[in-house]
Structure 1
Amino acid sequence: MSEAEAQVPEVDPQVSAARKAGRAKWLKRLAIVLVLAGLAWGAWYLLVARHHVSTDNAYVNAQMAQVTPLVAGSAVEVLVKDTQQVKAGDVLVRLDQANASIAVAQAEADLAAARRKFGQVVATNSALSAQIDTSSAGLVQAQARLRMAEADFDKARVDLRRREAVAGSGAVSGDEVTQARRAYAAASAALDAARGGISEVASARRVAQGQLAANDALVRGSSVETDPAVRAAQARLGAALLDLERTEIRAPVAGVVSRLQVQVGQRLNPGQTIMTIVPLEKLYVDANFKEGQLGRVRPGMAVTLTSDLYGGDVVYHGKVTGIAGGTGSSMAVIPAQNATGNWIKTVQRLPVRIELDPAELREHPLRVGLSMDVEIDVSSE
């Protein structure tokens, strides 16, 4: 036996067997633990996990209201600041009202003039009716004068013929014949004048009737409040009053003022964005799920959410309200072009809109853009 072999201690067979038995016992225990863990995981997956899909690619969003003036004017008073909480209808900015007030005064004057004109047309109708009645009476008198003129003309003509017939015999003098001729000419002129008088009276009557018909067409079936000209003036007054009211820019919704972009003295134009109001009680979450997770997701399913702002101690509850019509890449300004030979498949994400509980939002307010962890219960359909 060599010196090295002589120095190696001998292993007790009983100790070696005990070690092997202990190692086998621990391996058996580890196997049991692993089996139990696998069974627990399998049970958890079958009972819970397979009925839920989750993502941390989710962000708070809102239908933010863009505040824009509806009339042009200079800002004379700015009543809010950034981050200020406002209610719907609160006055945010006041514009100079000078021009709007002048327009209201002009519209009021136009309305008064329209009402007065309607009254004048009604009065003119009465005057024209009286004029027609007078013309009718004048026509009767003119006809009577015509008959008298015809009788005088016939008498003068007969007298002239008689005197001309005996003038050669010397029974009448030349002066009598001359006077008879003058009387005949005067009677003829009077007859023509009487006939012209009838034409004149009849023409004046027709003119009055035409004017009455024209005026009557303007006011027939109308009152001072239903007259078209009066109603047009009322509409102009209403528009002027509306423009005056719009010189006070009010909050369209309740929320927090953000991105304030107006100062006192600034000239504002219609459609110019001067601030944004974020409605904190009407926030929602856009959760971007992988395409493989959405096979069983349907609108109306229950959702639980947590925010990094409050941590896992605050849990929000909501429901799925809809799934976007396209992926984020397809809706981008410059969509991805995959028609190349170097194409590599990328898992796409589809936005899912989730409505939050307003009561929970009031208790724990969120802000637009915050991250959320989202879990959808796909068994809640």
Structure 2
Amino acid sequence: MDQIRILTKNELDEALSLSQFAFQYKLTNEEKARKKDRIKENEVWGYFQNEDLASKLHLLSLQVFIQEVPFYMGGIASVATWPEYRRKGMVKKLLKKVLIKMKENGQTISMLHPFSFPFYRKYGWETFIAYKKYTIDINQIPRSEAADGTIKRIGKNRSLLNEIYTAYAKKYNGMLIRSEEWWKNLIFTQKNHQTVVWYDEEQVPKGYAIYTVKDKRMKVEELIFLNEQARCGLWNFISQHDSMVHTVQLTVPESDQFSFVFENPSFKQEVVPYFMARIIDVKDFLTQYPLKPSRSLFLHVYDEFASWNNGIFHLQNSKNGLLVKHFEKKTEKMACAHPPKRGLQCDIQTLTAMLLGYQRPTFLCEIGKLKGNKEEVAVWEQLISKKTTYFIDFF
């Protein structure tokens, strides 16, 4: 008999065994105990066949910034199936189950790191962030004289780092709101990490870097800055390692243009697609989203995997914020026999990419993902913030 349910505490060893096999790593007894302690905070959903765990995923309860507003986010992680149970639709059924659970939880958006982008696109998730990976000869790094300030090496000062990180995170859509436990369990657990903070002339902390140095290579895990002085000051600090480092490796937002100031910008730059996102509940998401249209707007949305999102959404500004009315379509397909005279039309993937700022309405219209007249596309182009997406964590 098949069953989908949340694993009990006594079944977490089975989940860890499946993860170790699927992702090819080995935990010591001490690491296993720590891992079990952490995942108790999550919901581990399993697909059982004849009382045997066949497939599972972890549902994390997190928050992210979108347009500087905190949104409750359901993180999907550690999706795995034993080989003998694969290609039987178990993950599809698990995803369907947790989509309903996330809707009930008030998590209006979900994120995951895909093993396959096409696989998760089938279920409504869409790419929402790619980052640039820089590999630089340390002697190419420009040194700025305009970055007056000081660098201080610090320990695990969560409060200080989180204050800087949070201010930086609000500049982008999709950045995680880090809890104390997140800093403790996922940031400060790495060995041999060095952490420095950059202070301006008034001794106000405006940036930090977390990095390691090994085998003549500096790997910068996080480079966080709140203004141009802090960025230049941190880059100056990185360049000071030239006696012990040949190569610097770091990741930056896809929109980063700092390489323009390099005298020789011909270092290796890779664009890496990273995380995917999905709007779980369109009506609730739009209600929270800081949108202020000057006139009423219509959205025609199609979501094959979450039927409650299908239909027409009427958006109108009011004294109490954005008023969203949903006219649900009960038919299997959203598309009308006659195209609507008013409103934009798109699927849930396109809507997610557009509202998060990963792709602009004009481009989505050009490639046929977003349908509507030019005037309405132009209205959306102006309404949606120019904030881009970024995400530096992993789960």
Q: What is the TM-score of this pair, normalised by structure 1?
A: 0.16
The structure that is helix-richer by fraction is 1
**Structure index of larger Rg:** 1
Q: Which has the higher contact order (CA 8 A, sep 6+)?
A: 1
The structure that is strand-richer by fraction is 2
